[in-house]
Structure 1
Amino acid sequence: MIQQHREFFNNGFSKEKYQAFLNDLASDFDYLPTFRVAETPFFIPSQLKAQLIEGCQHVVDFIKRKDFNQLTEPSLGLNFNVPNQNRHTEFLAIDFGICEEDGKIIPKLIEVQGFPSVFNFQYNLFEKIKKAYPYLSQFTPYLSDLDSDGYLKIFKKTVLNGYQPEEVILLEIEPEKQNTKIDFYYCQRDLGVPFVCVTEVIKKGKQLFYINKKGREIQIKRIYNRVIFDELEARKDLNMQFSFLEELDVEWAGHPNWFYRISKFILPYLNGPYFIETTLLSELKEIPDDLENYVLKPLFSFSGSGVIFNVKKSDVEAVKDKDLYILQKKAKYVPVLQAIEGKVKAEVRILAVWPEKDENPTLIGNLVRLSRGEMIGVKFNKDKDWVGGTIGLFEK
C-alpha cells in the first residue's frame, strides 16, 4: 500500500539488511523475540488511516454507553468479579483485518480487548526500524499527533498513575517463559517497572509486596496486569499467596474485569460498516447452511486457541456452553502488501490508553501482523517469509 513507498523499500531490501536489523533488535537484552518479526513495515495510506480511526471511535462510543457495565455483566460469569473495578479500562487493543468489500479496501473489526498489548516493544521496534532504514524517519507509527516522546509520556502516565516505578509491578505468569517477554524487558528498562511472577507476590493482610533486586521488600501500590486469565485458570500448579478475587489494598493498571467485559463478548452488539456479522451461539436461531463462510470462536481465548476456521455443523452442535462461543462471518482479507514474492494479508491493531482521569481514550500507536495463511497467526505461517509482527507507518 502506498505504491511508491512499497517499491522503494522492496528495491532496497536484502536478506543481509534484514538480518542486521534482527541482530540489532536482539542486542539490547541478548535476546531475540520468539515470535517472528516481519521483514517490512506496513505503509498505511491516509484513507485507510481515517477508516481505522473512525472504526475505533465507533467501538469507543459503544464502550462509553451508560449501560455498558449492565450489558457486559454476564461476561464475568458466576465465578469471576474482581473488587474495586475502576470506571473505565486503561488499555484498548482494537484489531482490524484489512479486507475487501464491493471491490474496495476496508478495515473490518476482528477483535477488541480491554487489555494491554506490547506497547513498549512497538515503541522500541520503530526505533530499530529507523536505525536500519533511516529514511523511514519521515513516517510515524503514532496517532493523535504524538511523537515518540509523547507516546512514551502518556503510556507512562497510564501505567504509573503518579506512583514511583518501584511501587508498580508488571504482573504475569512466569514472565520469563512468555512469548511477549521482550515487551517486559523494555517496560522494565523504559519505565523502571519490574516484572514479577504471580507466585512471587507476598501477601500480608490486604497488602501485597515483592522482593526487589537488592533484596528489599517493597509494597505494591499498583499492578500493571498482564495475566491472561484462561492461562491462570489452567495453571492449577501455581502456588499463589493471593487471589484476584480478594479485597486487596492495591490499584490496577488494567483492572482484570475489563479483560472479560471488553472482549469478543461485545462483538454481537456492534453494527456498522467496519463490523462483521457476529452471533452468540445461544442467540443463534438456526445453523447457517453456508458454514464455510463462518468462523467459530470461544469468547475468551489466547492467541487464537480454540478457533475453528473450517466449521462443520457438528462443531456448532458439539458446543455445550453456547453462551461462551460466537459464530462470526469470515473476514474477506485481501492480500494488500506486495512482498518480494507474492502478496501478503495484514491485520492492524490500534493501541489506545485511557489514563484514570481522562474522559476519553487516546489512540497512540499500532501493531501489524502479516500473514500468507488462512488466518493471522503463527500456526498458519510456519516456514514462510514476509510474515509476522511489524508496525504500521503513516505519512506525516
Structure 2
Amino acid sequence: MIPKIRNAFNENFKDEYYDNLQQDVKDTFSEECAFRISETPVFIDASLENKIFDACDSIIEQLWEINFDEIRQKFIPKSLQSPSPMGKPHFLAIDFGLCDDGNGNIVPQLIELQAFPTLFFYQPFLGKAVLKHYKNFPKGDFHYFFSKLNDKKYIEEVRKVILGDEKPENVILMELYPEKQKTRIDFWATKQALGIEVVCMTQIIKEGKKLFYIKDGVKTPIHRIYNRVILDELLQIKDLKTNINLNDDLDVEWVTHPDWFFMISKCIMPLLKHKYIPKSYYLNDYPVDLDLNKYVLKPLFSFAGKGINLYPSQETINDIKDKENYILQQKVNYASLVKTNSEKNSKVELRILYIWDEAANKLKPVINLTRMSKGELINVSHLTEDTWIGSSISFFKNA
C-alpha cells in the first residue's frame, strides 16, 4: 500500500529475520505459535487509516442508538442469558477487509465485529519482535498502537480493564482446555504481563455463588473472570462436565459480560449503515429479488470462519430451519495488495481492537491485529503451507 516502503522491505528481506522472530516466540513462551505467523508486517498510509477510523467512529456512534435489550431478547435464548449485571462492553474488535473499490483505490469494508477479547497481549509482543528482528524495517515514523499509547501505557490501560481494583491472584483468565487452543500463545502472554493464572473452566470450584481455583495448592477466591470461553465451542462439546455455566448467577465480575458476545456481533450488522459497510440482511427477511451470487451466507454466532458459505444457493437457504440465526452479507473484493517474495500477492484483513475507557466513558482504540491470506477466506487456519500469509500486525505511517 506504500509501494516504495514495500519494495524496499522485500528487497532487503532475509529468511533469518523471520527465523529469529519465530525463535523469539519459542524462547518467550516456551512453545511455537500454534497458528502461522506471516513473514511480513503490513504498512498502511495515513489516507487509508483515516478511512478505517471514519468507519470505526461511525459504527461506534451507531452502537449506542441500538436497543440492546431488544437485541438480547431476540437473539439470546432466555436459558443462556446471564443474570449478572451487564455493564458496558469491555472490549470490541472491528474487522475490515482491505478491498478494491473498482477504481484502483484501497478501501476498508466491514467484515464483522465482536464485543469479545482477542490477542491483546500477543499483538504488542509481535510488534516489538518485528522491530527487534527485522533489520530491513523502513525508516520513518510508524505506529501500531492507537490513542497515543506506547508499550508501557498500553499494558497499564489493558491491565486496568482486566484487573479493575482486584489483586492478580483473585482474577483469572478462563478458557476451555486452554493448552489446546490455537490462541494459547496470548494466554501465556497475558499471564506474563498481568500475573494472573490461566484456568480451565472445568477446574473451577463453585460453592454457592462463590468461585475458587487452586493456586499453588491453595484454594483461592475468584472475584473477576477475564472470559475467553466462546459459547459456540462450549455447546459443541458433548458430556462436558463443569461446575459452572456462563449463565449462572454468580458472585463474580465478568470481563466482559458473556451476553455481549451475542449482542455486538454479526447479528447487528444489518442495522449498521456506512459507505464502508456492505449491505446485510437477516436470512428470514431479505428482498425476494436479491442476487445471491453477490452475497455470502454467514451463521450469526460461529467463530473462526466456521459455517460461512461463499456461494449460497436458494436450495441451500431453503434447507436452513433456523433462518433467524443467519445473515446474507454483500461480497467484497479483497485486494491482493501486499507484494510478496512469492508468486502470489497477499490479501489483508485488519482488526481494530478497542477497550472500555472508564474515565472517558467510551470505547477507545488501542492496537491492531492483522491477518493475511492468498485464498478466498481470510483465516490463519487455512492454506497454512503457503508463505507470506498468516497472523501479522500493521504499522501505520504518520502523515
The two structures have a TM-score, normalised by structure 2, of: 0.95
The correspondence for 2:167, drawn from 152, 164, 167, is 164
Q: Matched residues in 2 for 1:195 and 1:81: separation?
A: 25
1:86: how far off?
2.6
Q: 1:296 matched to which residue of 2? A: 297
Q: Matched residues in 2 for 1:84 and 1:358: separation?
A: 24
Please tell me whether residue 152 in structure 1 is matched to residue 155 in structure 2. Answer: yes
Q: Matched residues in 2 for 1:266 and 1:66: separation?
A: 9
1:136: how far off?
5.7
1:357: how far off?
5.3
1:108: how far off?
0.6
**Structure 2 vs 1, CA of residues 256 and 53 (structure 1 numbering), >3 Å: closer, same or farther?**
same
Q: 1:224 matched to which residue of 2? A: 226
Q: Matched residues in 2 for 1:87 and 1:244: separation?
A: 16
Residues 130 and 136, structure 1, Cα contact 8 Å, conserved in 2:
no
Q: 1:306 matched to which residue of 2? A: 307
Q: 2:189 matched to which residue of 1? A: 186
**1:59-85: per-residue Cα shift (whole Å, max 9, x none)?**
111222263333443121242110123
Residues 72 and 266, structure 1, Cα contact 8 Å, conserved in 2:
no
Q: Matched residues in 1 for 2:168 and 2:316: separation?
A: 48
Residues 91 and 116, structure 1, Cα contact 8 Å, conserved in 2:
yes
Q: 2:283 matched to which residue of 1? A: 281
Once the two structures are superposed, the pairs formed by residues 83-102 of structure 1 within 5 Å of their partners are 83-102=83-102
Q: Matched residues in 2 for 1:150 and 1:177: separation?
A: 31
**1:255-290: per-residue Cα shift (whole Å, max 9, x none)?**
1000000110010001111101100011124263x3
Q: Matched residues in 2 for 1:356 and 1:76: separation?
A: 27
What SS does structure 1 have at the residue aligned with 2:328? Answer: strand
Once the two structures are superposed, the pairs formed by residues 26-175 of structure 1 within 5 Å of their partners are 26-65=26-65, 67-103=67-103, 104-133=105-134, 135=137, 138-175=141-178
Q: 1:382 matched to which residue of 2? A: 384
What SS does structure 2 have at the residue aligned with 1:73? Answer: helix
Q: Matched residues in 2 for 1:369 and 1:50: separation?
A: 20
Amino acid at match of 1:261: M
What SS does structure 1 have at the residue aligned with 2:362? Answer: coil
**Structure 2 vs 1, CA of residues 269 and 157 (structure 1 numbering), >3 Å: closer, same or farther?**
same
1:387: how far off?
0.5
Q: 2:371 matched to which residue of 1? A: 369
Q: Matched residues in 1 for 2:251 and 2:68: separation?
A: 26
Aligned pair count reads: 394
What SS does structure 2 have at the residue aligned with 1:363? Answer: strand
Amino acid at match of 1:74: K
**1:158-207: per-residue Cα shift (whole Å, max 9, x none)?**
11111111110000000000000000000000111111001100001110
Q: 1:270 matched to which residue of 2? A: 272
Instruction: State the identity as a percent.
Output: 38
What SS does structure 2 have at the residue aligned with 1:389? Answer: strand
Amino acid at match of 1:170: L
Amino acid at match of 1:96: F
Amino acid at match of 2:312: V
**1:3-30: per-residue Cα shift (whole Å, max 9, x none)?**
2221121111122221122111211122
Residues 281 and 322, structure 1, Cα contact 8 Å, conserved in 2:
yes
Q: Matched residues in 2 for 1:354 and 1:118: separation?
A: 16
Unaligned runs of 5+ residues in structure 2 are: none
Q: Matched residues in 2 for 1:203 and 1:49: separation?
A: 46
Residues 161 and 356, structure 1, Cα contact 8 Å, conserved in 2:
no
1:380: how far off?
4.2
Q: 1:4 matched to which residue of 2? A: 4
Q: 1:21 matched to which residue of 2? A: 21
Q: In terms of mean alpha carbon deviation, does 345-354 or 100-109 score higher?
A: 100-109
What SS does structure 2 have at the residue aligned with 1:361? Answer: strand
Moved over 6 A (4+): none
1:91: how far off?
0.3
Please tell me whether residue 240 in structure 1 is matched to residue 262 in structure 2. Answer: no
Q: In terms of mean alpha carbon deviation, does 254-263 or 75-84 score higher?
A: 75-84
Residues 90 and 356, structure 1, Cα contact 8 Å, conserved in 2:
no
Q: 1:207 matched to which residue of 2? A: 210
Residues 99 and 106, structure 2, Cα contact 8 Å, conserved in 1:
yes
Unaligned runs of 5+ residues in structure 1 are: none
Residues 384 and 390, structure 2, Cα contact 8 Å, conserved in 1:
no
**Structure 2 vs 1, CA of residues 109 and 197 (structure 1 numbering), >3 Å: closer, same or farther?**
same
The two structures have a TM-score, normalised by structure 1, of: 0.96
Q: Matched residues in 1 for 2:295 and 2:67: separation?
A: 30
